[in-house]
């Protein structure tokens, strides 16, 4: 017998689907429910490697943590990794299977995957008491409905009730709720059970008349109003979105343990991947993390991070064009700390041979590290562990570039020359002892009186944030009604709201 299920859809991208899905998962697991997350198709450059070596979206890995279970490829069977405005690498059940244009994908390939994603969902529902599914974008994208496998396509295929989340902080939430339903076919509309308001500021009593009118117009109730909360700090996942220039990662509110702060500048390279690597730095009291794209912004940084990217050669050209490459070379020559991760590590090397990702052939790197990189067609997906700076380190690898290191001091899988460090390992800074040791080295090289807090646990901080998401659902949603929805499906007899989807 299949377990219960729910699809969390949204009026727009970034409406809060990932947060709400994780919150519902954490609330359920605290009630003793055996629950799993699911997203049929994810478009993201923030990905993760599971224990079995499968690549999935980081948001689903985070949601699995909310469920207190290990993530698997079943939870995100299709992952699209953009390589530009019009093409993406298609990762199926954790393994890359090719590169497709948007037209090619939506022109037939996507719909052929519906059976695969339904099989994955059925397997999860056969194992767990409940599966909380996350949609993508909006379910009312009428131009894409025919080939949809992540919103109403999966809801119809698995007979899932649908909860539509709207971000009221953007404005227009009532029109968005009504319009979302009104642009769906009668068959789709009968699965849309109701709404959830996200990011509300102010007195809920002032909102209640509108919620009553919305129910009168649509015949559908609102299952909760979640208040606006800062600092939830969960992993972003949508599309090619990266933190805007000048933005900072949410810092911890605790004061610095030492006399000074440590300033970290992250180069906002094109097609930036796994920029959540720096979240562990931002979790340290007294560490300020900022995304930059101008050379003068590196001048007062104590550490510069060149992050991962899905376009190493493109990022290298961008750094040169914006004169950031010159600033990085000057820092390295002066012995000022630089950390390159994955693609950022590769472009700090001497030479890149790329007939796979950019097809640019032979390209000269920045030459800071004694490394030569050759891009292989087979992607490396691994969960390595080791030791560095006298501390245990765990990470994960996602890359086509194979690095040959012929000098410097060993550093994880890469190397170190002076105060320039390079590694393919994502997530290494989440290892608390290693992160503190690394920051002590950075502070000493930068001449800062910064001291890492002795008891900061990144894993514990994540757990606290997931519990806060569970609290939001438990305190501000009608959890009895939500459970009925998960267990029994959408209410019968929901009215049709015209005009419906075009023929």
**What is the set of active-site residues?**
342, 426
Contacts of 94 (CB under 8 A, 6+ apart): 50, 52, 53, 54, 55, 56, 73, 381
Phi-psi region for residue 492, left (φ > 0), alpha (ψ -120 to 50) or beta? beta
Q: How far is CA 352 from the centre of its chain?
A: 28
Q: What is the DSSP string of 311-362?
A: -HHHHHHHHHHTTHHHHHHHHHHHT--EEEETHHHHHTSSEEEESSSS--EE
d(CA 121, CA 26): 19
Answer positive or negative: Cα dihedral of 431, 432, 434, 440.
Answer: positive
| 33/25 Cα distance (integer angstroms) | 9
Chain-centroid distance, C-alpha 403: 26
Residue 254: both structure tokens together:
């605790």
The total of other beta-carbon atoms located within 10 Å of residue 457's CB is: 13
Beta strands in 129-242 (DSSP E): 130-134, 162-167, 192-200, 221-227
CA dihedral 337, 339, 344, 345 (to 10 degrees): 100
Strand order in the sheet with 95-101: 41-43, 78-82, 87-92, 95-101
Measured distance CA(411)–CA(405) in Å, rounded:
10
Residue 1 CB burial class (10 angstroms; 0-12, 13-18, ≥19)? exposed
Q: Is residue 32 packed enough to be buried (19+ CB in 10 Å), middle (13-18) or exposed (0-12)?
A: exposed
Distances (CA, A) of 129 to 9, 82, 123, 410, 486: 21, 34, 12, 47, 10
């Amino acid at each position: 017998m299949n377990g219960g299920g729910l699809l969390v859809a949204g009026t727009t991208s970034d409406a809060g689907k990932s947060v709400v899905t994780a919150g519902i998962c954490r609330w359920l697991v605290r009630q003793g429910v055996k629950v799993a997350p699911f997203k049929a198709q994810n478009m993201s450059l923030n990905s993760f490697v599971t224990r079995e070596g499968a690549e999935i979206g980081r948001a689903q890995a985070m949601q699995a943590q909310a469920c207190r279970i290990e993530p698997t490829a079943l939870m995100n069977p299709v992952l699209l990794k953009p390589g530009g405005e019009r093409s993406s690498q298609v990762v199926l059940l954790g393994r890359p299977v090719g590169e497709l244009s948007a037209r090619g994908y939506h022109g037939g390939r996507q719909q052929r995957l519906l059976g695969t994603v339904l099989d994955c969902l059925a397997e999860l529902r056969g194992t767990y008491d409940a599966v909380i599914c996350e949609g993508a974008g909006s379910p009312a994208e009428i131009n894409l409905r025919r080939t949809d496998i992540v919103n109403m396509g999966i809801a119809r295929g698995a007979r899932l009730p649908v909860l539509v989340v709207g971000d009221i902080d953007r404005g227009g939430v009532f029109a968005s709720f009504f319009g979302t339903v009104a642009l769906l076919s009668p068959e789709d509309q009968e699965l849309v059970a109701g709404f959830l308001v996200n990011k509300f500021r102010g007195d809920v009593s002032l909102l209640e008349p509108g919620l009553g009118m919305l129910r009168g117009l649509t015949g559908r109730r609102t299952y909760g109003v979640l208040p606006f909360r800062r600092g939830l700090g969960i992993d972003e996942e949508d599309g090619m979105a990266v933190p805007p220039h000048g933005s900072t990662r949410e810092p911890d509110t605790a004061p610095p343990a030492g006399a000074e702060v440590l300033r970290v500048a992250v180069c906002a390279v094109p097609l930036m991947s796994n920029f959540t690597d720096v979240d562990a730095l931002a979790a340290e009291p007294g560490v300020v993390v900022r995304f930059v794209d101008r050379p003068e912004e590196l001048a007062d940084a104590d550490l510069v991070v060149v992050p991962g990217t899905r376009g190493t050669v493109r990022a290298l050209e961008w750094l040169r064009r914006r004169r950031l490459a010159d600033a990085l070379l000057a820092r390295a020559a002066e012995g000022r700390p630089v950390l390159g991760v994955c693609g950022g590590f590769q472009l700090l090397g001497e030479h890149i041979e790329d007939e796979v990702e950019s097809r640019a052939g032979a390209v000269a790197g920045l030459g800071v590290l004694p490394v030569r990189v050759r891009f292989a067609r087979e992607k490396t997906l691994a969960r390595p562990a080791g030791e560095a700076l006298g501390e245990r380190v765990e990470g994960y690898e996602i890359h086509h570039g194979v690095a040959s290191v012929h000098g410097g001091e060993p550093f994880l899988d890469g190397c170190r020359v002076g105060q320039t460090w390079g590694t393919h390992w994502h997530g290494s800074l989440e290892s608390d002892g290693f992160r503190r040791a690394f920051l002590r080295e950075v502070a000493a090289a930068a001449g800062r009186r910064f001291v890492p807090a002795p008891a900061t646990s990144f894993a514990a901080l994540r757990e606290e944030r997931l519990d806060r998401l569970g609290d939001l659902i438990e305190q501000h949603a009608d959890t009895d009604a939500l459970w009925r929805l998960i267990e029994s499906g959408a209410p019968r007899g929901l009215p049709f709201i015209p005009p419906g989807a075009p023929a």
